[in-house]
A and B are shown apart, each in its own frame.
Chain A
Amino acid sequence: MNLKQSLFVAVTLGMISLVIWELYWRNQGLEPNIDDNKNLWANQRARLENYDEKTVVFIGSSRILYDINLDIWENETGTNGIMLAAQGSTPIPVMQDIVENTDFNGTLVIGITPPLFFSTINPKANFVQRSQSLVDYYYNRTYAQRLNHMLSVPLQKNLVFIRDGDESWDSDVDLKTLLKQVHWDERSGPRYPPFNNFEEITLDRRMKMPEIMVKDTAYANTIKKVWTTILSGDNPPPDKETTTNTFVDLAKKFQARGGNLILVRCPSSGLFKDIESKAFPRAQFWDPLVEKSGAKAYHYEDFPELTNLFLPEWSHLAAEDAEVFTRVIIEAMKKDGVITNLKSN
């Protein structure tokens, strides 16, 4: 046996196969993509260790991640945004981390998505685990993990088949994810429809709704189908008292050390709006939260110019509409003196 020959065959065939694989996925319309994963979050969390008077921190769920355009925010306010919102999760574990493990006392903007925020504080619940796992990862990540992330970024930026998503909704094209999409039957119960990708994020977590979601209604409808399945499932009732009280305790601690707390309710439409207005009526959930926390608060329904924004899949704003939302909210905050324009100062 000639091992050199074997190696030559292996390298040649291996590389050809990979090139074909890459071209295949490009041919399917995929482009290189950075995934919003725990490493991106941890890198932003690390920035909070060296905050200054210009630092503004955003926490919450995916809505504030999509709906606040950080470029506009920074440009209009002269501040530096740190985006710590986490998709599909409650912000309470992140809030707890900021209040208890840092001395940050600047502006903290919290996006409130009622079905997630008022769900529970049970550490075993998915919505809590997801954001808690990000906090834990930040504290526990090893130098090797940091190095792996650094090395994977150029690959993610240039190769379609290299993805690094943590969540089941990340439309990765790795072998495991592809095999998971094979369903011969529903022996273990009904399956979720495919959750197509609708995120475009930068390394410093500036999220934008991809254009395909605006231009291709059929594509956007696939996401609506997923939401419909999730929302029609057997969801536990909200735990309003505990979530509100836990949050208010943290808010008071933060405000006591001089922190500037701002609550933002981002828009929703369609099925989300229907369910949220019925299951989480503003007067019973949002208003008491604002009153008890003593935070300055902005609800999109209070701004006529924000009521007709376009949410391609009912829950997150299209990129252009996110710009509008950000500008209107900033104006309102400036008017109230909640934030000052550090740039003009």
Chain B
Amino acid sequence: MLFNSLSFIVFLVIVLVLYYGNILNWINRKRMLLFASYIFYGLWNPPLVILLWISTVVDWIAGNKLSIEENQRKRKMWLLLSLFVNLGFLVFFKYRDFLLDNFTSVVNTYGYGYKAEPIDILLPMGISFYTFQTMSYTIDMYLRRTEKARTFLDFALYVTFFPQLVAGPIVRAQDLISQFYEEKKATINQFIWGLFLLTIGLFQKVVLADTLLADTADTVFGSKDILNGLDAWTGTLAFSGQIFFDFAGYSTCAIGIALMLGIILPDNFRYPYAAIGFSDLWRRWHISLSSWLRDYLYIPLGGNRHGIVRMYAALMITMLLGGLWHGAAWTFVVWGALHGIYLVVERMFKNKIHIKIGPYNGVILALVTYTLVNFTWVFFRAREFSVAKNIISSMFFMNVEGSKVLDSFEIIKVLAVISILFVCHWFMRNTSLKEVSFKIPSWVLGVFWAIMFFLIVISQGSGEQFIYFQF
């Protein structure tokens, strides 16, 4: 089920009525939330709920064993079981064809003429998110960083909680499970603020991403021609906006819906396009994934504790795997590699050049960072390297006579949206939406809210999927 759909409105109303209707006690409300979460997921493809159940049961058992087992070898076995099941799902459903393709290519370079028929398996929605979330529980249990969930119901709800089930934020056990222990009800202000966040999230997704930017990105990245530089830049900028609004929109909806239930989820985005440098970017973009990769990959790989070379290697491996997490294709690996290189180069410079960031050079550096990020988005969006190569060369204005696939209005529209996006991020980079909202009169917020609501309704998104569902 998608947040931007009529069925979700009905679903949410029913859930809220049952949640606040004083007919269920807290345990039964949690059961209702769990059942609703399975309905939320199952309305997409019912059999795939079984994967959720397997992941839940295996990690619940592994977590229980890890909480009492003292034998280090056995503890490791329970952790490995959890990793094997969750990563096994990921490999089978997400990377199987990719691995098979590459295996076939390698084998055939030695003249074996091996031919493998890829199995076109449906990728279970949000599998990368819930497997990472549930793995974090067993890893934290293994490292004795968190306590065992008190009941199976609490744990199952942690794995399946519908607002963040299919596209995050990827929440750690200690941040979410403990919220299920005590009865939760949103205050009236929390509820209204949650509704406001839901509106902002839908506005980002339905109006900004799908209505104003998606078609331009599709036209440019779907073109078979060598493009004019202006078209290539406009398409890439449009995608940079689309991916942000799509994903941040989902996260904002998730945080808002959870808040309407009295549950607090962590921020997933903090105005990333105003980042100064790439370390800053990854503290602002998909925060729950970057912190997951930091805690469960970068630090175990050595982090910055074993010298510069090892740190750079850990950074590169983390970003390469981070790229692969997004999709089973080499274009995603290149996207990760570019970010890895950016991070390494940035650290090398930081050791040698010390710049005091002020408001004027800050905005220039943010703009430089954003420009470099756009080059990485080309690989993220392009389905083939040939497309990425053409677009990159056009972005360097090497194809002056390239095809023009966009009309002037479309170019102006995208440039206007992206300029506003960048300016908003810059002015918001050290504050939060809530802080700004407290500073403006209530009626101004109401008018802003009404405009967003009106634009969402007249955009009538026909239930476009969120981009990150495929990851």
Contacts and interface: CB of A to CB of B under 8 A. Distances in A.
Interface of A: 1-14, 17-18, 21, 142-145, 147-148, 151-152, 155, 161-164, 166, 172-176, 179-180, 182-189
B189 A13 contact: no
Interface residues of B, number: 52
B353 to A, nearest CB: 42
A188 B409 contact: no
Given A184-B409, A187-B408, A148 B5 contact: yes
A315 B344 CA distance: 63
A179 B212 CA distance: 9
A188 B404 contact: yes
B405 A188 contact: yes
Contacts of B446: 5-10, 13
A143 B43 contact: yes
Given A14-B450, A14-B453, A179-B413, A145 B463 contact: yes
A4 B193 CA distance: 10
A2 B441 CA distance: 8
List the 3 closest pairs (A to B, CB-CB), nearest first: A9-B446, A13-B450, A10-B449
Nearest to B44: A142
B61 interface: no
22 contacts: A1-B445, A3-B193, A6-B443, A7-B195, A9-B447, A9-B450, A10-B445, A10-B447, A13-B454, A17-B450, A21-B454, A144-B43, A148-B5, A161-B458, A174-B211, A175-B458, A176-B211, A180-B215, A184-B409, A186-B407, A187-B408, A187-B411
A contact face: mostly helix, strand, loop, or mixed = helix
Nearest to B42: A143
B contact face: mostly helix, strand, loop, or mixed = helix
A234 to B, nearest CB: 16
B407 A144 contact: no
B408 A184 contact: yes
A296 B179 CA distance: 70
B211 A175 contact: yes
Given A162-B460, A179-B211, A6 B445 contact: yes
Interface string B452-464: 0111011110110
Nearest to B46: A143
Interface string B235-255: 000000000000000000000
Nearest to A2: B442
A185 B454 contact: no
Nearest to A172: B460
Contact of B45 (A10, A142, A161, A187): A142
B454 A18 contact: yes
A5 B441 CA distance: 10
A82 to B, nearest CB: 25
Contacts of B7: 144, 147-148, 151
Contacts of A5: 442-443, 446
Contact of B407 (A6, A162, A173, A185): A185
A172 B5 CA distance: 18
Interface in B200-223: 207, 210-212, 215
Given A1-B440, A3-B442, A187 B450 contact: no
B406 A188 contact: yes
B2 interface: yes
Given A147-B7, A184-B407, 15 more contacts: A2-B442, A11-B450, A14-B457, A21-B454, A142-B43, A148-B463, A162-B460, A174-B459, A176-B210, A179-B413, A185-B408, A187-B406, A187-B408, A187-B411, A188-B406
A336 B282 CA distance: 74
Contacts of A173: 458
B442 A9 contact: yes
B188 interface: yes
A6 B441 CA distance: 9
Contacts of A11: 450
A4 B192 contact: yes
Interface of B: 1-2, 5-7, 10, 42-46, 188-189, 192-193, 195-196, 199, 207, 210-212, 215, 404-409, 411-413, 437-438, 440-443, 445-447, 449-450, 453-455, 457-460, 462-463
Nearest to B210: A176
Of B412, B413, B460, chain A has the most CB atoms within 10 Å of the CB of B460
Nearest to A143: B43
Contacts of A1: 437-438, 440-442, 445
A155 B457 CA distance: 12
Nearest to B122: A140
A176 B192 contact: no
A3 B211 contact: no
Given A17-B454, A21-B454, A6 B442 contact: yes
Contacts of B43: 142-144, 147
B460 A148 contact: no
B404 A6 contact: no
A144 B6 CA distance: 9
Nearest to A163: B460
Nearest to A182: B409
A161 B457 CA distance: 9
A185 B199 CA distance: 35
Of B188, B211, B437, B457, chain A has the most CB atoms within 10 Å of the CB of B457
A180 B413 CA distance: 11
Of A8, A164, A175, A179, chain B has the most CB atoms within 10 Å of the CB of A175
Of B5, B195, B453, B454, chain A has the most CB atoms within 10 Å of the CB of B454
A183 B445 contact: no
Given A163-B460, A176-B211, A176-B215, A14 B407 contact: no
Nearest to A8: B446
Contacts of A176: 210-211, 215, 459
A175 B406 contact: no
Given A3-B442, A9-B446, A179-B211, A144 B2 contact: yes
Contacts of A186: 407
B464 to A, nearest CB: 10
A189 B188 CA distance: 54
Contacts of B407: 183-188
Contacts of A147: 6-7, 10, 43
A119 to B, nearest CB: 20
A6 B449 contact: yes
A175 B207 contact: yes
Nearest to B434: A1
Contacts of B46: 143
Contacts of A4: 188, 192
A194 to B, nearest CB: 15
Contacts of A185: 407-409
A6 B192 contact: yes
B55 to A, nearest CB: 21
Contacts of B441: 1
A183 B409 contact: yes
B436 to A, nearest CB: 10
A19 to B, nearest CB: 11
A35 to B, nearest CB: 10
A54 to B, nearest CB: 33
A122 to B, nearest CB: 15
B6 A148 contact: yes
A97 B6 CA distance: 30
A173 B211 CA distance: 13
Nearest to A161: B458
A188 B457 CA distance: 30
Contacts of B411: 187
